[in-house]
Amino acid sequence: MAEVMASATPSGLRHTLRSRPTGIGVYGAQAVAAASRFSTGTAATPPREAPSGAGTRESGRDPMDPRHAPGFRLRRLQNWFFLGLMYGFFYMSRYNFSAVQAAIAEQFGWSYSDYGSVISAGLLTYGCAVFFNGPLADRIGGKRAILIGAAGAAVFNVLFGLCHLFLLRPAVIVGDQVAAPAVLANGMSSSTVIAMFAVLWACNHYFQSFGALSIVKINAAWFRISERGQFAGIFGIMIQGGRTLAFTLLPITLKFFPWQYAFFIPAAFLVVMWFLCLSRVENSPAAAGYGELDTGDESPEEKNADVTIGFVLRKVFARRAPWIIALASMCIGMVRHSVDHWYARYIGVMFGVPAKNLATFAPYEFASVAMPIAAILGGLCAGNASDRLFGSRRAPVIFLAFIGQALCLVMLRGYIYNSWGACLALVFISFFVQSAHSLVGGAASMDFGGRKAVATAAGLFDGAQYLAGSIVGAGMGRILDHYRQAGHPGAEFAAWPIMPLGFAIIGALIISRLWHALPGRSGHSPVPAVTASRPRYSLRSTLAPEAEP
């Protein structure tokens, strides 16, 4: 289809010409181009005969595409590199609690349920916040949103670390039982201290919720739909770097510093990255001095629509596909948070490793390094498979990832008393979880939200995942406390892999409903439209007809 788009630039009107089989055609496009030259005072030049079907493109390249401008790719690299570093430290300042939770539990004499309650407070807040902060990020822009998030997360990590001041004397633990409770300052009880931890962790997660929304908001303007799957995998490398630091570096610090430094150190990194992103990151190619990039994720009506709250909400919440993806994302969250927030405690309790020695326990060392690497590979494989094998369709790859999660959870249950076998299963789970998560949280939110509503779509998908995670936090803690057996430390973890298994299977069934779905510019064809490169499936031709936003 042909489009003639005009936008104001310092040099006058710029135009982008697309060839279309019907409508204005090549000669109509040349007439509009001539009118543009006349309006800017430049001399008209005789139109050059274009080959059939070529339009204004020469050698398959659009001269107005900013991707062909000198320095564009380097500038885009700079943009997502600093964004990736920032979000990596978001991960570090979010998973630090899970990485050192055993040390905090030993000091305060916490049960599994106590830890799970604090985790759930954070995840529930995150899940609710992204629903509201998504439209906000779409309005204020990704750069401003991520700076707000980084500042708040740094402040509340510091405050969380300062909670060590509540402790006068640590609890005495004999075996796996609390022999003497902790002595707390200012007459505080154990429940009030847990409530204080929960409130601070919830506040940290509120500001953490700006991270993913900002990332997809900014990157949606810098990458075309055909580039996003592979990019989601590459970007995951930097994100998993933060997780690696949380589960490897922070347990090592316990040998030299008290547990509170596991919160002070990530806060310091966030402050440094705040200043770097302020000066090195821009919201879009146009903001960086290039033209607007046609990302291919909007219909002509959506492209011309004003960015209003009503438009954003209709585009995301009034359609069937985003809700199906949100349900699948909940299933990812059940599996992901069951593993991420409990595997360090599982290894420590099941195999009798104290918190300070966890970083030197070989199976844990292997898992803490191999799991992020596997997640990186999962993101890369999923992104490339989605773009290259399935024509930028996300659902088939997510379906296969759910099946892989289910099989690996069965493997984990089989090796639950074998440290090396269990850690190997955890690595495989990490591969398949990130395969699904990178496409849902990155590519799918950009695809189905478009540039104007991407943060809202990410809020729906990410929020659903974290709401499911809040169930896992408190629910898993209660299950483990229920199956705890005196004199048999770790026996309770036999039930651990079973809880998320059913959700992996349900997720596969849900996402299979979108097997052929792909956002496109036209939804009027009842069958998939075929392009010269690969088949493109219209979302509206796959699902039931929906109202145009």
User: Which has the closest alpha carbon to 135: 288, 328, 315?
Assistant: 315
Q: Token pair for residue 96?
A: 């630090």
pLDDT value of position 286: 76
Cα–Cα distance between 515 and 542 in angstroms, integer?
Answer: 9
Question: Which residues have CB under 8 Å from 159's CB, separation 6+?
Answer: 200, 203
pLDDT value of position 448: 66
Tens of pLDDT, residue by residue, the chain (549 residues): 333 333 444 444 334 333 344 444 433 444 444 444 434 444 443 444 444 444 444 445 555 566 656 677 788 888 888 888 898 999 999 999 999 999 999 999 999 999 999 999 999 999 899 888 878 888 888 899 999 999 999 999 999 999 999 999 988 887 777 778 889 998 889 999 999 999 999 999 999 999 878 887 887 777 777 666 666 666 667 778 888 889 999 999 998 999 999 999 999 999 999 999 998 888 777 777 676 766 665 555 655 555 556 666 666 666 788 888 888 999 999 999 999 999 999 999 999 888 888 888 999 999 999 999 999 898 888 888 888 888 878 889 999 999 999 999 999 999 999 999 999 999 999 999 989 988 886 666 666 666 666 667 777 787 888 888 888 888 999 999 988 887 788 889 999 999 999 999 999 999 999 888 776 544 333 334 433 344 443 433 333 333 333
User: Which has the closest alpha carbon to 66: 78, 58, 75?
Assistant: 75
Q: Token pair for residue 111?
A: 């049960």
Provide the 3-class DSSP secondary structure of residue 71.
Answer: coil
Q: What is the 3-state secondary structure (H, E, C) of 266-330?
A: HHHHHHHHHHHHHHHCCCCCCCCCCCCCCCCCCCHHHHHCCCCHHHHHHHHHCCHHHHHHHHHHH
- As beta bridge partners, residue 374 has none
Domain 75-293+306-515 top-level CATH class: mainly alpha
Provide the 3-class DSSP secondary structure of residue 82.
Answer: helix
pLDDT value of position 464: 85
Q: Which amino acid, 268? A: A
Are the CB atoms for 541 and 523 separated by under 8 Å?
Answer: yes
Q: How many residues does the chain have?
A: 549
Question: Which residues have CB under 8 Å from 59's CB, separation 6+?
Answer: none
pLDDT value of position 14: 39
Cα–Cα distance between 156 and 152 in angstroms, integer?
Answer: 6
Cα–Cα distance between 16 and 441 in angstroms, integer?
Answer: 31
The sign of the torsion formed by the CA atoms of 106, 107, 112, 116 equals negative
Cα–Cα distance between 169 and 130 in angstroms, integer?
Answer: 38
pLDDT value of position 174: 76
Are the CB atoms for 385 and 398 separated by under 8 Å?
Answer: no
pLDDT value of position 234: 66
Residue 194 phi/psi, 5-degree rounding, is -60, -40
Q: What is the 3-state secondary structure (H, E, C) of 103-131?
A: HHHHHHCCCHHHHHHHHHHHHHHHHHHHH
- As beta bridge partners, residue 15 has 6
Q: What is the pTM of this model?
A: 0.72
Please count the helices (runs of H) and the strands (runs of E) in the chain.
Answer: 18, 8
User: Which has the closest alpha carbon to 434: 294, 206, 235?
Assistant: 235
Question: Which residues have CB under 8 Å from 144's CB, separation 6+?
Answer: none
Give residue limits of the domains in the chain. 4-50, 75-293+306-515
The sign of the torsion formed by the CA atoms of 244, 250, 253, 255 equals negative
pLDDT value of position 132: 84
